[in-house]
A and B are shown apart, each in its own frame.
Chain A
Amino acid sequence: GAVVSQHPSRVICKSGTSVKIECRSLDFQATTMFWYRQFPKQSLMLMATSNEGSKATYEQGVEKDKFLINHASLTLSTLTVTSAHPEDSSFYICSARRTGKDGYTFGSGTRLTVV
């Protein structure tokens, strides 16, 4: 079945530093990758949608310069949280849509803690 590998699963960083989160589709090509943010006991908030080879489309209220998304290939998308602050601490989840398919496969998530 379709698998999306997300790394790291947990990361602790100092305030002001940048953190990169990777999502790889292991056995399929992902035309589109989605990045979500989830606060404790809350739903998933879509941050941005990225299509391979083009700029990401950000949802309203999401800072493009703070959350950099790169989708350079059909199997890899990265989210970089730049100049992280404690309020960026959250659970980040990626999701990939297979080329020509309706299904969405989710990564296992990354728990980011900014201290």
Chain B
Amino acid sequence: AQSVAQPEDQVNVAEGNPLTVKCTYSVSGNPYLFWYVQYPNRGLQFLLKYITGDNLVKGSYGFEAEFNKSQTSFHLKKPSALVSDSALYFCAVREAISGGYNKLIFGAGTRLAVHP
């Protein structure tokens, strides 16, 4: 079964500093990886995904993620954090299910707190 792990429950960073939210994966075959953000009492918003191609994936709101096959990681990054980036971030991997369909398996989530 596919899985992702987010080793940090919370990440604290000062506004203007670079941020990294970590994710490692365990898959059989080629990984299809995603990052989502969730604000309080809201659904998830898509940030970016890796299917194939360049290891550096650029996404929404200035976020990017680096796919590293040797380290089985897909860390989310942003060069300069904003207070408004404070939210819950989920890494996810796509898993094939019966009938030719797919589902997303989510990590435990990492709470990002950006301080002024």
Q: Please name all residues of chain B whose beta carbon is closer than 8 Å to the beta carbon of A91 when the two chains form the complex.
A: 41
Contacts of B85-116 to chain A: CB distance below 8 A: 90, 94, 97-99, 101-109, 111
Q: Which residues of A contact B41 (CB under 8 A)?
A: 9, 91, 109, 111
Instruction: Please state if A43 and B106 are interface contacts (CB–CB under 8 Å).
Output: yes
In the bound complex, residues from chain A placing their C-beta under 8 Å from that of B42 are: 108-109
Interface size class of A (residues with CB under 8 A): 20 to 34
B45 within 8 A of A: yes
Task: Enumerate A90-115 residues with CB–CB distance to B below 8 Å.
Answer: 91, 93, 95, 97, 102-109, 111
Nearest CB on A from B27, distance (A): 16
The answer to whether B44 has its CB under 8 Å from any CB of chain A is: yes
Among B46, B49, B51, B107: residue with most chain A CB under 10 A: B46
Chain B interface: which of A14-22, A44-52, A66-74, A76-84?
A44-52
B46-A108 in contact (CB<8A) = no
Interface string of A32-49 (1 = CB under 8 A from B): 101000000111101001
B29 at the interface (CB under 8 A from A): no
- Quick check: B109 and A102 within 8 Å, CB to CB? no
Given contacts A57-B97, A103-B46, A109-B42, 13 further A-B contacts (CB under 8 A): A9-B41, A41-B109, A43-B90, A43-B109, A44-B90, A44-B106, A49-B103, A95-B43, A97-B102, A104-B104, A108-B42, A108-B43, A111-B41
Q: Which B residues form the contact surface with A (CB < 8 A)?
A: 32, 34, 36, 41-46, 49, 51, 90, 94, 97-99, 101-109, 111
- A sample of 22 inter-chain contacts (CB < 8 A) reads A31-B101, A32-B101, A34-B103, A41-B109, A41-B111, A42-B108, A42-B109, A43-B90, A43-B106, A46-B105, A49-B97, A49-B103, A103-B46, A103-B49, A105-B46, A106-B45, A106-B46, A107-B43, A108-B43, A109-B42, A109-B43, A111-B41
Residues of A within 8 A of B (CB): 4, 6, 9, 31-32, 34, 41-44, 46, 49, 51, 57, 91, 93, 95, 97, 102-109, 111
